[in-house]
Amino acid sequence: MTKVEAKEAKGKLGVLVIGVGGAVASTFITGTLSVRKGFGKPIGSLTQLATIRLGKRNENRFPKIKDVVPLADLNDLVFGGWDIFSENIYDAAKHAEVLKNEDIDVVKDELQAIKPIPAVFDQKFVKRLHGTHVKPEATRWEYAQQLREDIRKFKADNGCDRIVVMWAASTEVYIPQSKEHESLAAFEKALKENNTEVIAPSMCYAYAAISEGAPFIMGAPNLCVDIPAMWELADLKKVPISGKDYKTGQTMLKTVLAPMLKTRMLGLEGWFSTNILGNRDGEVLDDPGSFKTKEVSKLSVIDSILQTETYPELYSNIYHKVRINYYPPRKDNKEGWDNIDIVGWLGYPMQLKVDFLCRDSILAAPLCLDLVLFSDLAQRCGFHGIQSWLSFYFKSPMHKPDQVPEHDLFIQHTILKNTLRKIIGEPTLDYLD
């Protein structure tokens, strides 16, 4: 097995988060700082806790991933980012009410030192929020150049050797892919012409990050980095990109339960999903335009996993409905209900009910950490373009038009670990030994 030559993870790794003051980002940053000081445990993080089997089963080699894969050290991470509100991350974490005060206060000084950069904001793309810490109005091209300067300044001011940029901000309103997204030339023309109908703020961030050689992670379902123009730019600049929409609660369960139905050849008539949540994400998704973006992402999972065209007798008439309801009393503690109508032997009906009381940001935070470390690893390995091996972390895995996305959580997990095995020069596993 040829080992991939990964550059050493030396020096500081800057982590720039769009939406750095939001619930997900503040939970991720607070938790990471707490873990590296020994105050907390990185539960949910593969890079910190998971083992990886190497060699034959009878060799009994199960080292931790972080002990054999050349990942950046947590002590080398430097956090920053943009937000539409000016609170430092200590105040933002308090405001989010995800973590207990005692868990925030142990890293108070470090959190207070992280102050957001003014953000690119366009009210028509996130209608329920009213940003107060935003850049002065400018063209989309000018915004992109300002963001590039922000990245360069943060890198210089903090002595960073490398940068990763991550989207953890709100879901933008739905926009379809258009001719302006089909090539880098067309996209840059639309940027310079300030075509605000087809160039979302998130696209300005992605363009800036990739142009600066920084891996970009898309954590929301927005149309952003999943367009041919961005793929072309990522290949041109030799930058890894990944997305989209962090796979945390209800959709994570779907990527486990749907493969169970298919592997046992059980039929499916309907799947009704509803959610209540009360954080900023819930408020944004209360707008029909933003919900449309999320809905498209969440609906794509089942059809892809079940291969409805391949198994028409089992899955040709599935009624799949998704609802998200803003309910302020719940704050970040989301509840997802699923009613699943399945069909068994001789067509007899059965039902499966799931009630998942989860903490949205608590589930997302370890994904953010893993994606930052793995994206940096990909860059040091010389990988660029779509990182399909990171599909494990996303609701709607990015893929080229001629490819079929893989949604099955366990297949995604195998692909991820086999990629890590290739990176360290170990044989990949086919589980036939």
Considering the segment(s) 12-246+362-423 as one domain, its CATH architecture is 3-Layer(aba) Sandwich (3.40)
- 10 Å CB burial of residue 228 (0-12, 13-18, 19+) is middle
175 in Cβ contact with 200 (< 8 Å): yes
Kindly list the distances between the CA atom of residue 142 and the CA atoms of 11, 49, 174, 208, 265, in Å, as whole numbers in the listed order. Answer: 31, 42, 23, 11, 54
Task: Using a pLDDT cut of 70, give the percent of the chain over it.
Answer: 97
Boundaries of every domain in the chain: 12-246+362-423, 250-359
* pLDDT above 70: residue 16: yes
* 282 backbone φψ class: left, alpha, beta (φ>0; ψ -120 to 50): alpha
pLDDT at 330: 85
pLDDT at 210: 98
**Mean pLDDT, range 283-294, rounded to an integer:** 71
pLDDT at 192: 97
pLDDT at 2: 62
Average pLDDT, the chain: 93
3-class secondary-structure state, position 304: helix
**Mean pLDDT, range 269-286, rounded to an integer:** 83
- Reported as a single tens digit per residue, the pLDDT across 329-351 is 988 888 999 999 999 999 999 99
* pLDDT above 70: residue 293: no
Q: Is pLDDT larger for residue 362 or for residue 288? A: 362
Give residue 297's pLDDT band: very low, low, confident or very high (50, 70, 90).
low
Closest CA to 19 of 8, 11, 27: 27
The answer to whether domain 12-246+362-423 and domain 250-359 are alike in fold is no
| DSSP per residue, 107-148 | THHHHHT--PEEBP--GGGSTT---SSBPPP--HHHHHHHHH
Q: What is the C-alpha to C-alpha distance for residues 97 and 332, in angstroms, rounded to an integer? A: 8
What is the pTM assigned to this prediction? 0.93
Considering the segment(s) 250-359 as one domain, its CATH architecture is 2-Layer Sandwich (3.30)
pLDDT at 129: 86
Q: Is pLDDT larger for residue 397 or for residue 284? A: 397
189 φ/ψ angles, rounded to the nearest 5 degrees: -65, -45
Closest CA to 398 of 375, 377, 364, 428: 375
Largest distance between two CA atoms of the chain: 68
Kindly list the distances between the CA atom of residue 230 and the CA atoms of 68, 77, 113, 139, 214, in Å, as whole numbers in the listed order. Answer: 32, 26, 33, 19, 13
**Mean pLDDT, range 242-251, rounded to an integer:** 90
Q: Burial code of 290-301, b = ≥16 C-beta within 10 A, e = fewer?
A: bbbbbbbbbbbb
Q: What is the C-alpha to C-alpha distance for residues 58 and 135, in angstroms, rounded to an integer? A: 59
Which of 42-46, 245-249, 402-406 is predicted least confidently? 402-406
Which of 193-197, 252-256, 283-287, 351-355 is predicted least confidently? 283-287
pLDDT at 249: 85
Place of tokens 């470390």: 373
pLDDT at 9: 95
Closest CA to 391 of 419, 426, 424, 416: 416
- Reported as a single tens digit per residue, the pLDDT across 160-212 is 999 999 999 999 999 999 999 999 999 999 999 999 999 999 999 999 999 99
* pLDDT above 70: residue 238: yes
Q: Is pLDDT larger for residue 345 or for residue 406? A: 345
Q: What is the C-alpha to C-alpha distance for residues 78 and 189, in angstroms, rounded to an integer? A: 34
Task: Using a pLDDT cut of 90, give the percent of the chain over it.
Answer: 79
- Reported as a single tens digit per residue, the pLDDT across 414-433 is 999 999 999 999 999 886 66
**Mean pLDDT, range 140-147, rounded to an integer:** 98
3-class secondary-structure state, position 349: strand
pLDDT at 390: 97
Closest CA to 206 of 237, 160, 177: 237
* pLDDT above 90: residue 298: no
Q: Per mean pLDDT, which of 31-40, 170-179, 288-297, 316-325 is the most reliable?
A: 31-40
* pLDDT above 80: residue 286: no
* pLDDT above 60: residue 1: no
Q: What is the C-alpha to C-alpha distance for residues 151 and 188, in angstroms, rounded to an integer? A: 19
In 173-239, DSSP assigns E strands to: 216-218
135 in Cβ contact with 143 (< 8 Å): yes
